[in-house]
């Protein structure tokens, strides 16, 4: 199985993110989505750690299924907050024993006190544990507008630089202007960090939904993007069409700016990603 670090050395990557299903209906949808997206030949896919400790089995099952039934390289997410240190070590060891070569190390969203662990409080510590247990291709998350827990962007960049000193590459949360990615990369470069930062792309298919997700990540959808989407009025299809056009324009600008890759947040659906690929001329519609 490929190491993403090696893929990034040879050229631009294209990748997708999935989340593990919680029931049979979600499982059927994920299966269809993976099947629909396989012809796009992604360089890798990531699978989120959805929730607390219960995600251990679900995330592992999805990445092992992808590893065993497709030619796609899977990368599991893992969060600090859901497990004590020894369990994190067990999970990482299990990933390595299954043949996985790539890991996305995260601090994790806050959990209820009774479900939360703080033995490893930061993603940088999880990177160190994963490195000690054999992972040589490790990603971390980056927030173009700054992590919601950071008091300011300067502080965020210092923490991110420390994470990237330990890790190999970053994948960003979603954003909507190429300047946001360029500013992030420039600010990291000023701190001596030149490791790959892959932009995360979230196609807008519903304005209210994207605003909720943005709020949870401490990000505000730019006013000009909202204004464009509001031109669709009460017509969901018109709003969706504008959202896809905006995503295509962003991806085109990012590719022109020389990004190391594009990572699409699919929400376990395939249509929007396939439409963007078509709009960019990456595949025939």
Q: Across the chain, what does the average pLDDT equal? A: 93
Residue 111 has pLDDT above 90, yes or no: no
Provide the residue ranges of all domains of the chain, joining segments of one domain with +. Answer: 4-280
Which of 99, 44, 95 is CA-nearest to residue 73? 44
Residue 41 has pLDDT above 80, yes or no: yes
Residue 132 has pLDDT above 60, yes or no: yes
Q: What is the pLDDT of residues 227-283, one digit of tens each?
A: 999 999 999 999 999 999 999 999 999 999 999 999 999 999 999 999 999 999 987
Residue 20 has pLDDT above 50, yes or no: yes
51 compared with 206, residue with greater pLDDT: 206
Q: What is the mean pLDDT of residues 72-96?
A: 93
Which of 234, 185, 183 is CA-nearest to residue 206? 234
CATH T-level assignment (fold) for domain 4-280: TIM Barrel (3.20.20)
- pTM value? 0.95
Give the active site residues.
17
């Amino acid at each position: 199985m490929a190491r993403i670090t090696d893929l990034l050395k040879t050229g631009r990557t294209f990748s997708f993110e999935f989340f593990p299903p919680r029931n049979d209906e979600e499982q059927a949808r994920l299966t269809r989505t993976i099947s629909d997206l396989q012809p796009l030949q992604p360089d890798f896919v990531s699978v989120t750690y959805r929730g607390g400790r219960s995600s251990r089995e679900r995330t592992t099952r999805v990445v092992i299924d992808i590893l065993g039934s497709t030619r796609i390289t899977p990368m599991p997410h893992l969060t600090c907050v859901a497990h004590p240190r020894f369990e994190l070590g067990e999970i990482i060891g299990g990933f390595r024993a299954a043949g996985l070569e790539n890991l996305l190390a995260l601090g994790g969203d806050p959990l209820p006190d009774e479900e939360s662990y703080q033995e490893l409080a930061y993603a940088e510590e999880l990177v160190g544990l994963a490195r000690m247990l054999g992972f040589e291709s490790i990603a971390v998350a980056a927030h173009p507008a700054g992590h919601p827990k950071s008091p300011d962007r300067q502080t965020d960049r210092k923490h991110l630089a420390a994470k990237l000193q330990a890790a190999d590459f970053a994948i960003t949360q979603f954003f909507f202007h190429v300047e946001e990615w360029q500013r992030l990369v420039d600010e990291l470069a000023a701190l001596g960090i030149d490791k790959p930062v892959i932009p995360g792309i979230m196609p807008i298919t519903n304005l209210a939904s994207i605003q909720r997700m943005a709020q949870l990540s401490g990000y505000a959808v730019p006013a000009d993007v909202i204004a464009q989407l509001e031109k669709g009025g009460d017509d969901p299809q018109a709003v969706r069409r504008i959202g896809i056009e905006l995503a295509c324009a962003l991806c085109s600008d990012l590719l022109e700016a020389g990004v190391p890759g594009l990572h699409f947040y699919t929400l376990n659906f395939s249509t929007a990603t396939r439409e963007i690929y078509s709009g960019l001329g990456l595949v025939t519609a």
